[in-house]
Structure 1
Amino acid sequence: MIQLKVRQLSSVLLVTLLAVNFSGFAQPTFSNPIRDGADPWVFQKDGEYYYCASQGGGIAISKSNKLTDQGEMVQVWKSPDSGWNSANIWAPEIHFIEGRWYIYYAAGSKSGSPFIHQRSGVLRSVGRDAFGPYEDLGMLYTGDHIGDSASVVWAIDLTPWQPKGRMYAIWSGWEENRDTDKTQQHLYIAEMSNPYTISSNRVKITSPVEPWETGGPLNLIEGPQMLERNGKTFIVYSTRESWLKEYRLGQLTLREGADPMVPESWLKKGPVFIGNDLVLGAGHCSFAKSPDGTEDWILYHSKKTAQPGWNRDVRLQRFGWHADGSPDFGTPIPAGVAIPVPSGE
């Protein structure tokens, strides 16, 4: 515990010193948390940051030239009054693919718990404007029998990945549909024929089996995010329970030249980012470059109190890279510490 306190104080001192440049003039800074919310998503395109979140029974988008300020959120899609996606809109992501904007999200047919009806769906912009309008392209297939559309299985946090002309979907799901949401979650991958069609059966690539992924009331793996650099591919995911302070990040690394549809192609490491007594339950992240492209930043959420629940806020900090080419996320920076704004902002 004493060593942990020393490391935390050292991190605070280092960040504070970085906030002042060599000429003695204070640089612009910000401090965490940057806003209320959870499951932060950012997509970077043409010098702008596009943010996406569930809001008011639908999905909202904002655009900003800053990482520290997402700007005003505007609702671009409202869930229907009935149907599979009429309730529980979770963790949407916006992506620009082949000249259109796509929003991937999870939803259910019944409001509130138990959350046993969650499935993944996709929206597509009618034109090239991120603010819509959007057309609902329906539910994505996340099951084991691609010829039977009714055999879709519980799925959340779906994200697309496009390596070398291929396309895949990666998400968190159950092994089978259950009548209780106290069900273990795993990470799955499947091939996509286009941004709105999954064209293969799913493959389970990892489960919560490591000591740092287990030990709570319900062991979960969710929120997969792709991170690529210098030919290396990583899936950074959240594990443990999202409503507890033990929420954290793990990492999968794709073996060089390996088939991503083969579970043995992925090497697990973790935890790669974990909270402490000053920042609780650090998880569910997304990534972006600084405005000038010279820095890497992680956007994530944390719990406001140690009590179980989903009262969370959003945080932002810079990260680096280990000598082996893997990301070095460091430790969560405590609230109120002055952090230099992203380079170019």
Structure 2
Amino acid sequence: MKKYIGTVLLLMALSFACSSESVDDSETNTQARTTFANPVWDGADPWMVKQGDEYIYCYSQGNSIILSRSKFLTQLGERKAIWRAPASGWNSNCVWAPEVHFVDGHWYVYYAAGVSGPPFIHQRTGVLRSETDDPFSNYEDMGMLYTGDNPDDPSSNVWAIDMTVFEHNGKLYAVWSGWLEQMDTDATPQHLFIQEMENPWTLKGTRVSLSSPEESWETGGPLNLNEGPEALLHNGQVFIIYSCRESWLVEYRQGMLQLSNPNGNLLDPSNWQKHGPVFEGNDKVYGVGHCSFVKSPDNTEDWIIYHSKKSTTPGWERNIRMQPFGWKADGTPDFGTAVPGGKEIPRPSGELELEESIND
């Protein structure tokens, strides 16, 4: 995800070792069919969406964007590189945090990229569109989105990453993390913006500043960030779960914006209430951030997929975790406590039965 200039960059060269204790084979075989343990795989900025009976997982690898599709939430499946950055141009490097969304019969990938870095001051947001309704089909480059304050002047575009989109009351909205104005240093605070979309590859009107790092639980470190926004829709309510504090530190955590009046104006900042932190690390799980949400195979459970740091050392060595979550009496999400690595978690509801039916 985001990189921060200065001495912190030197820490990225550190390596991490993993070990596990052996257990009785019979116990392993039994648990393998009923439980799993975090972390599930390496990576960062996990985006997963359920389409029909498949889980589509999207991630960047180098300067490529990869999709996986699987019948199982807890396992990656068939993989395909659906896009590789061009050799030159605005999106030739630093491909970060892609998401894939199914809108009006096509898959759209939103990703951040820049012409170079560090310093990472060139990041903008691009869009890809699938040729068909198959996520593994070819993709057309729809270009760069304008995420500044003057759409009539493309040269005035402003740094933007972590874009997500969602539909509400018949309208399509984009939410992303960006700067108030273009800067020549990546040690710049990040804010959340929202904007209506004309279509999945065109923003409509001008951006609205939705959230800034102002609360005590989202400030206090060397660089104040609001980033990684993700929409969570439930029973007519709209929530935006986002990451705050510094992505390279153990204090990285999740905040929440709640739409006060779901039938009101989403572009009115006063219609959103901020809560937090709603999900954070502990003495065994470090720096939880940038999540996505899916249903279990039988659609009876809600799951959060997120990344965490591999150690307490500042840096961006991370892995992917997942766990079920519930809902409070007031209708807000209850993410509970981050489950320590190695602790057995029941497999998502319906996954075991699905595996058995496939193997029959």
Gaps of 5+ in 1: 1-24
Report the 3-state secondary structure (helix = DSSP H, G, I; strand = E; otherwise coil) of the residue aligned with 2:137: coil
Residue 12 of structure 1 corresponds to which residue in structure 2?
Answer: none
Q: Superposition pairs for residues 236-247 of structure 1, below 5 Å?
A: 236-247=241-252
Give, in angstroms, the shift of residue 199 of structure 1: 1.5
> Which residue does the alignment assign to 2:274?
268
Distance (Å, rounded) in 1 between the aligned partners of 2:76 and 2:176? 25
Q: Residue deviations 1:287-325, cap 9 Å, x none?
A: 000000000000000000111110000000000001100
Show structure 1 runs of 4+ deviating over 3 A.
none
The equivalent of 1:174 in structure 2 is 179
CA distance in 2, matches of 1:328, 1:86: 40
Partner of 1:161: 166
Find out whether 1:324 has 2:324 as its counterpart. Answer: no
**1-structure distance, mates of 2:173, 2:146:** 12
Matched, 1:231 2:236: yes
Of 33, 36, 46, the match for 2:39? 33
C-alpha distance in 1 between matches for 2:214 and 2:172: 28
What CA distance in whole angstroms lies between the structure 2 residues aligned with 1:237 and 1:278? 21
Deviation for aligned residue 1:132: 2.2
Q: Map residues 69-218 of structure 1 onto 2, 5 A cutoff.
A: 69-110=75-116, 112-218=117-223
Moved more, 139-148 or 25-34: 25-34
Matched AA of 2:73: L
Looking at structure 2, the residues matched to 39 and 108 of structure 1 have their Cα atoms a distance apart, in angstroms, of 17
**Contact 2:47/2:98 (<8 A) preserved:** yes
CA contact (8 A) 1:55 1:75 kept: no
Code of the aligned partner of 1:236: I
Shift of 1:128: 1.8
Inter-partner Cα distance in structure 2 for 1:128 and 1:258: 32
Q: Structure 1 residue 258: deviation in Å?
A: 2.2
For the pair 1:252 / 2:252, whether they are aligned, the reply is: no
Question: RMSD value over aligned CA atoms?
Answer: 1.2
User: Which letter maps to 2:103?
Assistant: I
Tell me the SS of whatever aligns to 2:341.
coil
Q: Is the 8 A contact 1:146 1:199 kept in 2?
A: no
Q: Amino acid of the residue matched to residue 297 of structure 2?
A: P
2:12 corresponds in structure 1 to none
Partner of 1:341: 347
How far is the alpha carbon of 1:253 from its aligned partner? 0.2
- Cα distance, 1:72 vs structure 2: 3.8
| Distance in structure 1 (CA, Å) of the matches to 2:137 and 2:60 | 15
State the shift of 1:203 in Å: 0.5
Gaps of 5+ in 2: 1-29, 352-360
Secondary structure at 1:91 match in 2:
strand
**28-37 vs 48-57, greater mean Cα deviation:** 48-57
TM-score (norm 1): 0.91
* Pairs within 5 Å for 1:12-31: 28-31=34-37
3-state SS of paired residue (2:250): coil
The counterpart of 1:50, out of the listed 39, 53, 56, is: 56
How many corresponding residue pairs? 321
Hey, what's the Cα distance between the residues in 1 that align with 2:256 and 2:276? 6
In 2, are the aligned partners of 1:59 and 1:78 still within 8 Å (CA)?
yes
Distance 2:79 2:53 in 1: 18
Instruction: Please give the alpha-carbon distance, in whole angstroms, between the structure 1 residues aligned to 2:131 and 2:73.
Output: 27
Residue type of the alignment partner of 1:131 = F
Q: Percent identity?
A: 59
2:205 and 2:115 map into 1 onto residues whose CA distance is 25
Structure 2 counterpart of 1:59: 65
CA distance in 2, matches of 1:54, 1:315: 17
| 2:288 counterpart of 1:282 | yes
Looking at structure 2, the residues matched to 161 and 52 of structure 1 have their Cα atoms a distance apart, in angstroms, of 17
Maintained 8 Å contact 2:112/2:125: yes
